[in-house]
Every structure is written in C-alpha cells, then in structure tokens.
C-alpha cells in the first residue's frame, strides 16, 4: 500500500500498512472447506474510494503523475457507513443461507480497515468481540492481505470444524462474505512453521514460544 498512499493526506496515510499472504486449499472428501460465498459490487461507490489514474479508465501518463492521481482517495465517513452496512448485510445473508446464528460462528474475520467498523459489524450480527479476529492494531490496513494474515496469526487457536465467516469491503464499492469450515487443528501446524508475530493478550509469550520453538 505504501506505493499508492498519499503521505500528504493525513486522513488516510496513517491507516495503511504493507503486508501480503495467501491461503492454499486442496480438494477433500470431508465436510470441510469453503462452503458458501456472497459477493457484490456497486459502481456508484466509485467517488468515495478510488484511485483516479493508473487503470484502463485513465492510463498512466506524465500528466497523471504530476497531478498526483496515483494515490488512494478516500472519503472516510461515506466509506465507514457503507462498510458497516454492506458487510453486515453480507454476513447476515451467509448466516441465513447456512442456518447459522451468531453463537454458531466460531470466528468472524472482517477486513481490517477500522476497528470500529469491525466491532459494529460483529454487534449487528450478534457475534461476541472475543470471536472476532483483529490485527489492525499492529499491522494496520494491508488491503487484500488482511484476511489471510489474520488466519496466519490466529492459526494456533483454530480447531477442526470451526465455523469461520469472512467479510470484506473495498473500492468500487465491492463487498461480500464467505463461509468456511476449518479443516485441521492449527496448533500443530503452526508449530512446524514459526510465525514472526504472536497476538498479545490471546496467548502469553511462553505459550507462543512453546508452539514455535525456533522463533
């Protein structure tokens, strides 16, 4: 995100961070894995959250660079409102389609844009904050990296059969949610590949080192 962050815009530059991760999946005959997805887009949301140049609508040029049009532009209040409403709607849709209550969902994994957005969505769908994955407090908003990075950090706490709902919101506007049943016990796997971070408060440093002896 640092390459497209305007460091003269104090409203947006403090919230972004650089990070990347991916999730590898494989076929299985077990009743686990990605179960359902709900995805939406509305082009009316272009103005509050966009980058003016650099894509097919306005190709890069000397003029666009001079005009500083290759940075993320965000209208915070409008984005906040739509993010809360749309992610809430997406999670509720997934829950209803799969007969899930708030108590059935082991973990909610929301896009890490703003801690207040995450808390608001959790409350509206009836999920306790203790069951919401959070890493924005020490990784900032890493855009598309936020959800897999959450899984990576929380892996030691994941158990086979955990019901996980992901939700995200971004430029466009685009938003959606996915439902996954976790396929393995995370503590054993996490111990094989020591992570660089541990989540303060969710486990002690001693517990973290036991899971990741080479860290």
In tens, the pLDDT along 70-94 reads: 999 989 899 999 999 999 999 999 9
- pLDDT of 203 strictly over 60: no
Q: How confident is the model at residue 167 (pLDDT cuts 50, 70, 90)?
A: very high
199/112 Cα distance (integer angstroms) = 15
Whether 66 is in a domain gets the answer no
Whether 153 is in a domain gets the answer yes
Whether 57 is in a domain gets the answer no
Whether 123 is in a domain gets the answer yes
Query: What total number of domains does the chain contain?
Result: 1
In tens, the pLDDT along 33-73 reads: 999 999 999 998 999 998 999 988 899 999 999 999 999 99
Whether 138 is in a domain gets the answer yes
Cis peptide upstream of residue 146 (ω within 30 degrees of 0): no
Q: What is the CATH number of the domain that holds 113?
A: 3.40.47.10
Determine whether 69 is exposed, middle or buried from the number of CB atoms within 10 Å of its CB (0-12, 13-18, 19+).
middle
The whole-model pTM stands at 0.85
In tens, the pLDDT along 9-25 reads: 887 888 898 888 899 89
Whether 53 is in a domain gets the answer no
- Structural domain that includes position 204: 2-25+34-47+74-211
Whether 55 is in a domain gets the answer no
Whether 54 is in a domain gets the answer no
């Amino acid at each position: 995100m640092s390459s497209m962050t305007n460091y003269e815009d104090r409203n947006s530059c403090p919230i972004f961070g650089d990070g990347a991760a991916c999730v590898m999946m494989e076929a299985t005959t077990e009743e686990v894995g990605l179960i359902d997805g709900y995805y939406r887009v509305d082009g009316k949301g272009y103005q509050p959250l966009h980058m003016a140049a650099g894509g097919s609508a306005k190709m890069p040029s000397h003029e666009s660079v001079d005009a500083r049009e290759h940075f993320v532009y965000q209208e915070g209040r409008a984005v906040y409102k739509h993010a809360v409403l749309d992610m809430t709607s997406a999670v509720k849709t997934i829950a209803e389609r799969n007969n899930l209550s708030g108590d059935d969902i082991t973990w909610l994994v929301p896009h890490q844009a703003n801690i207040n957005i995450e808390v608001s969505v959790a409350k509206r769908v009836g999920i306790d904050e203790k069951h919401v994955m959070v890493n924005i407090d020490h990784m900032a908003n890493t855009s598309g990296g936020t959800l897999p990075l959450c899984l990576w950090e929380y892996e030691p706490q994941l158990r086979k059969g955990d019901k996980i709902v992901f939700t995200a919101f971004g430029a466009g506007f685009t938003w959606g949610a996915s439902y996954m049943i976790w396929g393995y016990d995370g503590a054993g796997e996490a111990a094989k590949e020591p992570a660089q971070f541990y989540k303060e408060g969710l486990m002690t440093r001693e517990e973290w080192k036991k899971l990741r002896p080479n860290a």
